Amino acid sequence: MGPLRDVGNHLFCKVERTKPHPQGFLAIGRRLNGHKPEILVHENQIGVAAGQRYFLKATRKGANTTCSISQNGTHLAEITYTMRRADRASFGSGRKVGIRIRLVARGTRRDEDDGRSRFERFTVRTMS
């Protein structure tokens, strides 16, 4: 996630392989002013399979956030979102970043809850 001002104001990059997205789904979304998260840009059928290793990368340059996914050096998908005025006002100056895995949403099992995801390793750096 990043830029991140707080839990109610941030951009996020996500990848999922679920029943609605059996070939994978890459998205950039936001949570703005504490409201429900919304997907801003996405790409379907990115060619991911269960039990495989992938490299997910989110970068920001100015108002542009790019999210990409690759496997063994092969580029699978890339999307970019340009922050709007409301984004910049709510979290555009945020310099925090983070990582999150969603296992259970409010005690319910939703389509994005696979319960089997693992991180082999990850790096999170403050944006400069």
pLDDT (tens, 9 = 90+) of the chain, 128 residues, equals 667 778 888 888 988 888 888 899 999 999 888 889 899 999 999 999 888 888 888 888 888 999 999 999 999 999 999 999 988 888 877 777 776 665 555 555 555 555 556 666 666 665 55
- How confident is the model at residue 90, as a pLDDT? 83
Cβ neighbors of 15 (< 8 A, separation 6 or more) are: 24, 25, 26, 27, 46, 48, 54, 56, 69
pTM: 0.80
12 exposure class (CB count in 10 Å sphere: 0-12, 13-18, 19+): buried
Which among 17, 14, 13 has a CA at the least distance from the CA of 50? 17
The domain locations on the chain are 4-92
